[in-house]
Amino acid sequence: MKLLFLVDNLSTGGAQRQMVNLGVGLRQLGHQIDFFCYAPGDLLAGPLRAADIPVRIVQKKSRFSPDVIFALRGQMRARGYDLMLSYLTTPNVYAILATRFLPRRPRIVISERLNDLPGKGTLIQEMSRRLYRLADHIVVNSHHQREDFVRRYRWVSGRISTIYNGVDVRLFRPPKHEPPDEPFRLLSIASIAPHKNGLCLLSALAVLNAEYGLCPHVSWAGQHVTDNPVRATYIRKMDDAIAAQALGERWKWLYQQKDVIPLFHGHHALIHPSYLEGLPNVVCEALACGRPVIVSNVLDHPRLVQHGISGYLFEPQDAHDLARCIKRLRDMSADERHEMGQQGRRFAEQYLSLERLCHDYERLFEQLLA
């Protein structure tokens, strides 16, 4: 198949990483893949270059720029693709508009990568989804979002699929040696934003100290966006809470990291307190690395993490519940934590591999082109 992949940029982000993994995997299966982006950044482009996958970047001139549409149309006419796959809302809209009235239109598969908040969607969401009727198929990466779409939009029935994210389980593997028992080390990997729920984790640390005398070490890796007022305010609130609790060396901001595998190997567990996700890459990667995961009990998280078996689920607005989960994990023996991690590893091998991701998409594309 001759496929065009459209995403905003290749600088960072879970959706971008998944699309790169998918492109490389389908290239290895013999398909021809081109990438098209409209914003600068190529931090994630290395694997594409190594797989001889062309990447074209046409930098847009405004927030919603018609020059991207014209460039896409020209490339599709010149290359004659069988199918175009786009990730995220704005690329989805570009994909649909660019293919209108083309004499030879490729099939269009669009994908959303985040669950909607409860209640009515935003105006932009609703306008975008009116255009989604013109796509051939919609892919989401969680059953929760698929079920919500089917409930809200009758026209989507029969035209939407859930395909879980994929992890390179040969690369993301358990460590040869578990980290020392002391200090007890917890890892979070996420950008800093209200929905990532970092303040709940900080409140849970205060509960652990006050009620149980426990003071685990926490490392938080992720992008600090300071030019967004909402995110910048939330960073300040977290910094204030860290100072108020005098966490000192027990809290480390690691900022954005290129290689997260050593982080998984150097910590006893992953904590993911977020209450708004699609399917979090970091949880999938932690499971593949044999790390127990403590995750909020929302969305598809209960499908990823079995409570008491591969990790723990907690109510995302209840710091005491999170503190109890951390204590239960801390009270386990090293062997018990290791077995919990192995349970997650077995789940990742069966349900979250890159091979499964690529074959799921390949089968969908073949069905649409049949």
At residue 306, what are phi and psi to the nearest 5 degrees?
-90, 120
| CATH 3.40.50.2000 domain position(s) in the chain | 2-166+353-369, 185-351
Instruction: Specify the pLDDT at position 119.
Output: 67
b/e code 31-48 from CB counts within 10 Å (16+ = b): bebbbbbbeeeeebbeeb
Closest by CA to 216, choosing from 198, 228, 201, 230, is 201
Cα 335 from Cα 340, distance rounded (Å): 9
Fold of 185-351: Rossmann fold (3.40.50)
Closest to 93 (Cα-Cα) out of 38, 54, 169, 168: 38
Q: What is the pLDDT of residue 43?
A: 86
State whether residue 34 is helix, strand or coil. strand
Rounded Cα distance between 14 and 36, Å, is 17
What integer pLDDT is reported at residue 127 of this predicted model? Answer: 86
Calculate the alpha carbon distances from 264 to 17, 54, 168, 284, 331 in Å.
Answer: 18, 32, 15, 12, 20
Residue 272 contacts residue 296 (beta carbons within 8 Å): yes
- Report, as ranges of residue numbers, the positions in the chain whose pLDDT lies below 70: 119-121
Cβ distance 192 to 274 under 8 Å?
no
The topology (CATH level 3) of 2-166+353-369 is Rossmann fold (3.40.50)
Q: Which amino acid is at 148?
A: D
Q: Which residues share a beta bridge with 307? A: 311
Q: How far apart are CA 175 and CA 265, in angstroms?
A: 5
The size of the chain, in residues, is: 370
pLDDT of residue 120: 66
Angstrom distance (rounded) from CA 292 to CA 338 = 8
Say if pTM beats, i.e. exceeds, 0.85.
Answer: yes
> In 3-state terms, what secondary structure has residue 86?
strand
